[in-house]
């Protein structure tokens, strides 16, 4: 993939997946604006990109408000234009519902949902002015598609991000700006906190062995570079016809998430009553209820 001449912004690019996205986009030829709330980490990534012959600028600061979003676009303009935005910055504040504070809720919604909104809005304004299309790549999560224990704030924000991708895909189609949500899974500081995976990831790291095949295929969990391949594809001209999609990637797995739709429908002439719903539910539209929540990882017996 050749991204030379293109300019990309990646938020939360100081480590983990964001760093891999920034480095892969730069390796493919794009100039990259590296953002992170951790200024040192962002500077290090930009330095590494430049050391490998790429072009990079740093915008340190916390994604959330419009001021930072405007700074990201201004930094891209220093390279002459803006073609690609990857909204990746994120945090976790996991608690069960009855223990989740207002602060836990607001902090996660602010970075993920509001941050995606403010950055995408600033980028869309710039891309529409440019008139040569563009790419908005929004980072979601399996938690947003399914719900996840302890992740009220995160699941809500990540589900909202997919809803925004589908909305913006409609709104920006005429401007040739594609908008897709990516549903990644990869070994990072974030996934290391999942108890079922922690010992396996530590073992692989300690011994320098690759992740086991069941982890890469069944759980779709691999390296950050595995996910970066999809970001480069979505940033490229090759993905011009792809918009409004939620695309999963991790390890050896690439997947298209379905759009929610009515799975079972029944009609009652003149409308339903609580009694007629109760009488028909189990054999009617409720006959095959949907699952909810991310299934627990199936770790094979040693
Ligand atoms: N790792 C996974 O398997 C996984 C799965 C689903 C979704 N995701 C999503 O992918 C993204 C990256 O995850 P990761 O695993 O690399 O996480 P990470 O914690 O390793 O990295 C996140 C980066 O974002 C930065 N950051 C946090 N808040 C910020 C803010 N307000 N402004 C700018 N930067 C900020 C952090 O400093 C850090 O460098 C997140 O949006 C996460 O929700 C990750």
Confidence band of 299 (pLDDT split at 50, 70, 90): confident
- Residue 297 included in any domain: no
> Quick check: CB of 89 below 6 Å from ligand 1?
yes
CATH number at residue 156: 3.40.50.720
The secondary element (H helix, E strand) that includes residue 182 is: strand 177-184
The secondary element (H helix, E strand) that includes residue 233 is: helix 224-235
Range of the domain at 110: 7-186+223-257
> In ligand 1, which atom is closest to the CA atom of 110?
31
Q: Has residue 302 got a pLDDT over 80?
A: no
Q: Is 69 helix (H, G, I), strand (E, B) or coil?
A: helix
Q: How many folded domains does the chain comprise?
A: 1
> Quick check: CB of 222 below 6 Å from ligand 1?
no
- Residue 138 included in any domain: yes
Least confident of 57-66, 100-109, 183-192, 239-248: 183-192
Give the whole-angstrom CA distance, residue 63 versus residue 11.
Answer: 7
Mark whether 141 is an active-site residue.
yes
Least confident of 17-26, 151-160, 186-195, 247-256: 186-195
- Residue 292 included in any domain: no
- Residue 139 included in any domain: yes
Q: Are 290 and 263 in contact (CB under 8 A)?
A: yes
> What pLDDT shows up at residue 194?
78
- Residue 201 included in any domain: no
The secondary element (H helix, E strand) that includes residue 9 is: strand 7-10
User: pTM of the predicted model, to two decimals?
Assistant: 0.97
Residue 266 C-alpha to ligand 1 middle, in angstroms?
42
Strands across the sheet containing 31-36: 55-60, 31-36, 7-10, 84-87, 134-139, 177-184, 246-250, 253-256
- Residue 92 included in any domain: yes
The pLDDT tens digits of the residues spanning 163-209 come to: 999 999 999 999 999 999 999 999 998 888 777 788 888 888 899 88
- Residue 167 included in any domain: yes
Mark whether 217 is an active-site residue.
no
- Residue 21 included in any domain: yes
> Quick check: CB of 44 below 6 Å from ligand 1?
no
The closest residue, in CA terms, to atom 30 on ligand 1 is 62
């Amino acid at each position: 993939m050749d991204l030379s001449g293109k300019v990309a912004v990646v938020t939360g690019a100081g480590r983990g997946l964001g760093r891999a996205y920034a480095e892969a986009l730069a390796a493919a030829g794009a100039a990259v604006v590296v953002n992170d709330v951790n200024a040192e980490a962002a500077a290090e990534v930009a330095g590494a990109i430049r050391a490998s012959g790429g072009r990079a600028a740093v915008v340190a600061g916390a994604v959330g408000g419009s001021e930072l979003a405007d700074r990201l676009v201004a930094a891209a303009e220093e390279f002459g234009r803006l073609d690609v935005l990857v909204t990746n910055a994120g945090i976790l504040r996991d608690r069960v519902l009855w223990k989740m504070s207002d602060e836990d809720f607001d902090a996660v919604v602010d970075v993920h949902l509001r941050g995606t909104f403010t950055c995408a809005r600033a980028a869309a304004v710039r891309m529409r002015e440019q008139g040569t299309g563009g790419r908005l790549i929004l980072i979601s999560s399996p938690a947003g598609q399914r719900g996840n224990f302890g992740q009220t704030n995160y699941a809500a924000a990540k589900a909202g991000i997919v809803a925004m991708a589908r909305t913006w895909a409609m709104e920006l189609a005429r401007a040739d700006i594609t908008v897709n949500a990516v549903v990644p899974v990869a070994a990072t500081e974030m996934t290391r906190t999942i108890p079922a995976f922690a010992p396996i990831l530590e073992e692989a790291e300690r011994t320098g062995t690759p992740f086991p095949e069941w982890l890469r295929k069944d759980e779709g969990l691999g390296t950050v570079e595995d996910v970066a391949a999809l970001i480069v594809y979505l940033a490229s001209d090759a993905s011009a016809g792809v918009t409004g999609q939620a695309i999963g990637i991790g390890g050896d797995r690439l997947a298209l998430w379905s759009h929610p739709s009515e799975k079972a429908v029944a009609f009652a002439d003149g409308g339903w009553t609580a009694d007629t719903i109760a009488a028909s539910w189990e054999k009617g539209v409720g006959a095959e209820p949907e699952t909810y929540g991310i299934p627990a990882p199936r770790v094979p017996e040693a």
